[in-house]
Structure 1
Amino acid sequence: MRVFLIAGEPSGDALGRALMAGLKELVPEVAFQGVGGPLMEGEGMTSLFPMDELSVMGLAEILPRYPALKRRLNQTIAAVLEAKPDVLVTIDSPDFCLRVAKGVKAASDQRIVHYVAPTVWAWRPKRAGKMAGLVDQVLALFPFEPPYLERAGVRCDFVGHPVVTEPQATEAEAAAFRLAHGLGDAPLLLLLPGSRRGEVSRLAPVMGPVLARMTADRPGLRAVLPAARSVAGLVQEAVEGWAVKPLVLDPRELGAGFAAAKRAAFRAADAALAASGTVSLELAAAETPMVIAYDMHWLTRAVMRRMLLTDTVTLVNLVAGSRTVPEFLGAACRPEPIAAALSQVLDAPDGQRAAMRLCMERLGRGAEPPGLRAARAVLDGMAPD
């Protein structure tokens, strides 16, 4: 069996790794090609080009890089058509992946599976109908998504979210982390400014003042910032200008020990300030109370504001059907209200935990691993009627 996979950002790389592991368990003689990051390469795929070239988000952010992205798009379409795999699996990154799907479908009858349903429940609902002619099957991370795609005539399988299978640090590991970094029993704030350069560029100038305000109100408070490898240098530069410096966990320095240190930091933290996205689910899995902040280019912000269909974008809120996680988006992403919300979370941390547990249950905690479920769904979709 030959499978061509495309992932364009770290969260997609993690999904791709889990799917590849599931396929290898079910079909030992499987071979992989495509575009992915270090996790997918660890499962046996050599990436066609560096995945981080695709890690760009937002209309205003994409425009300057369009020529380079267009070249990579054409290169990827040509590689799929030449490979003629049994199935093409595109993973998230819809602006790139669905363009690949369109180009491949225009030139072949290639079977295409898209992993991660488009957020038609949040904005641009007409995308569900457009997908009907581009992909044969969608794998959904969230249980509320299949009806949206099925109404448009696209097969959609809920396979769960891999966050429910990720290892969590123990209390002993969290205590060891605090001891190793001289944190004692101080209140600990976790800072997570994102994995894209644009996210860090916009959130770091907000997070620095938030930390300064928090430490002024709580003199013993400490902060830790696990940096994504793709933006570690930018993070280090950003915190140099902060009045109060956090402990930065740099994957370039920690190497193989970074993942364990990050898990321990999640468990040791009393609260987190995080960019919107999958990281909110990671925090929920660790039962770390959070506040979500996000900003974007003014043009992207204006377009999103007009098209958004929900009153929250935080995944924990959406999956649990609650609004317990405060979020500060766009113009609301300012230090003063964020610091106030974090203080409330630190004073009453248990308010979010019931919603976090319900979220994990609904995403498949305790069931068959999502990567294996996704592999079964792909194979079932390939089976003759």
Structure 2
Amino acid sequence: MSKPLCVMLVAAEASGDDRGAGLARALRARLGDDVRFVGVGGARMAAEGVQSPFDIAELSILGLLEGLLAYRKVVVRVRATVALAQREKPDVVVLIDSWGFTLRVAQQLRKLDPKLPLIKYVAPQVWATRPGRARTLAASVDHLLSIHVFDAPYFEAEGLATTFVGNSALTLDFSRADGARLRKDLGITPEAPVLLVLPGSRPGEISRILPPFAEAVAILKAQRPDLEVVIPAAPTVAETVKAQASGWAHIVEGEAAKLDAMKAATLALACSGTVTTELALAGVPMVVGYRLGALTHAILKRLIRTPYITLFNIAAQAFVAPELVQDDCNGPNLAREVGRRLDDPALRAAQVEAQTAALSKMGRGGPDPSEVAADTVLKVLAERRA
């Protein structure tokens, strides 16, 4: 009797944990008991059988300076991940997002076993900044699973086989979400305007972005006493958010509550990231804010080649949702943009229409990315064995 296929999945952030869990489910649906999983991930991957040797929250690092300060910790965790691979001897390794961490793992695994198939899931955004990363990745892995339709040419030009699988955020299922349920649970009347505040899932994002978001909320609530504020707190930062925001917002936890909150929302004030795509899918107009460390921002400002940071804005090549970045991400500016939309239903409706059109350009309506990713992993493995 042949031994089960051993698949190693490595993710270091919440979005990667979600993609890793989806890929594990899809592979198990195809292989049943003939697959086992090892690797690094969070709670969602753990629920699919991936027992991580350490907490990935400590690898959720934002900014260049923070990356330098955390370098030793990252090196230690890279070693632990490589040691896990040496111990478990996987048949294939899938490295999910988290460029700096997963690249180091890939490079060490390649040195130890050049024949081990290495697959990167989610490409570095070379279309926005640092195009040299395409060549670096091509030298480090065997195949790329990309989530953006515009990724492939950059990597294929460097000889890296690339498969577009789609963005799992575009497949989010709102069929069971109920905004009325959330309003009832929180004691919010059906007619009250609800502002959803989403300050990020990394500790660094909370420390930089929650304060100006809180200032904006204070301004807005002073002008609109009936405004209700809801924060769906990411599990990685829930305790910090509760400590800082419980006095001025309803705080909810868990995926179901987050989706209910999105369906209940009149408008959102959101940190740039995957959540902006999720909000667009829910039909929620939004204002996007973001802040980096001063040093990181100064360096990236010279490197970034796109004026947009929100994916559907990039797809539309327009500021469908306003983006207030760095010094512009302050309480008065945010309150002004949010207030305009709270007061103008027609503006909100027009923005939702434009967001929906941009989602189509991003590949909404395509196959489930986890299914395509699973098929590609098995195809790469079969080709390597042949």
TM-score tier (shorter): over 0.9
Please tell me whether residue 115 in structure 1 is matched to residue 121 in structure 2.
yes
Instruction: After superposing the two structures, state which structure 1 stretch, 78-87 or 275-284, moved more.
Output: 78-87
Residue identity matched to 1:333: C
Please tell me whether residue 23 in structure 1 is matched to residue 27 in structure 2.
yes
Query: Identity over aligned residues, as a percent?
Result: 39
Residue ranges of structure 1 left out of the alignment (5+ in a row)? 252-257
Superposed, which structure 2 residues align to 1:121-136 within 5 Å? Answer: 121-136=127-142
- Contact 1:159–1:373, Cα closer than 8 Å, also in 2: yes
SS of the residue 2:237 aligns to:
helix
Partner of 2:260: 264
The whole-number CA distance in structure 2 between the counterparts of 1:170 and 1:46 is 29
Please tell me whether residue 246 in structure 1 is matched to residue 249 in structure 2.
yes
- Contact 1:225–1:248, Cα closer than 8 Å, also in 2: yes
The whole-number CA distance in structure 1 between the counterparts of 2:339 and 2:61 is 32
SS of the residue 1:229 aligns to:
coil
- Contact 1:169–1:267, Cα closer than 8 Å, also in 2: no
Give the direction of change, closer, same or farther, for the CA distance of 1:22–1:170 in structure 2 (3 Å limit): closer
Deviation sequence 1:84-131 (CA, Å, 0-9, x none): 211110000011000110111112112100000110011111100111
- Contact 1:111–1:136, Cα closer than 8 Å, also in 2: yes
Number of matched pairs: 374
SS of the residue 2:140 aligns to:
coil
Partner of 1:232: 238
SS of the residue 2:229 aligns to:
strand
SS of the residue 2:74 aligns to:
helix
Partner of 1:94: 99
The whole-number CA distance in structure 2 between the counterparts of 1:364 and 1:204 is 31
The whole-number CA distance in structure 2 between the counterparts of 1:308 and 1:281 is 21
Please tell me whether residue 139 in structure 1 is matched to residue 142 in structure 2.
no
TM-score normalized with structure 2 length: 0.93
Partner of 1:298: 294
- Contact 2:62–2:205, Cα closer than 8 Å, also in 1: no
SS of the residue 1:33 aligns to:
strand
Superposed, which structure 2 residues align to 1:188-203 within 5 Å? Answer: 188-203=194-209
- Contact 1:227–1:235, Cα closer than 8 Å, also in 2: yes
SS of the residue 1:44 aligns to:
coil
Deviating above 4 A after TM superposition, structure 1's stretches of 4 or more consecutive aligned residues are none
Residue identity matched to 1:326: P
Instruction: After superposing the two structures, state which structure 1 stretch, 316-325 or 216-225, moved more.
Output: 316-325
Report the Cα offset of residue 300 of structure 1.
0.9
Deviation sequence 1:145-204 (CA, Å, 0-9, x none): 111111111111110111222221568x21122122222111110000111111001111
Instruction: After superposing the two structures, state which structure 1 stretch, 296-305 or 353-362, moved more.
Output: 353-362
SS of the residue 1:57 aligns to:
coil
Partner of 1:64: 69
Superposed, which structure 2 residues align to 1:162-173 within 5 Å? Answer: 162-168=168-174, 173=178
TM-score normalized with structure 1 length: 0.93
Residue ranges of structure 2 left out of the alignment (5+ in a row)? none
The whole-number CA distance in structure 2 between the counterparts of 1:318 and 1:30 is 38
Deviation sequence 1:229-255 (CA, Å, 0-9, x none): 111121122226x6xx11111x3xxxx
Residue identity matched to 1:316: F
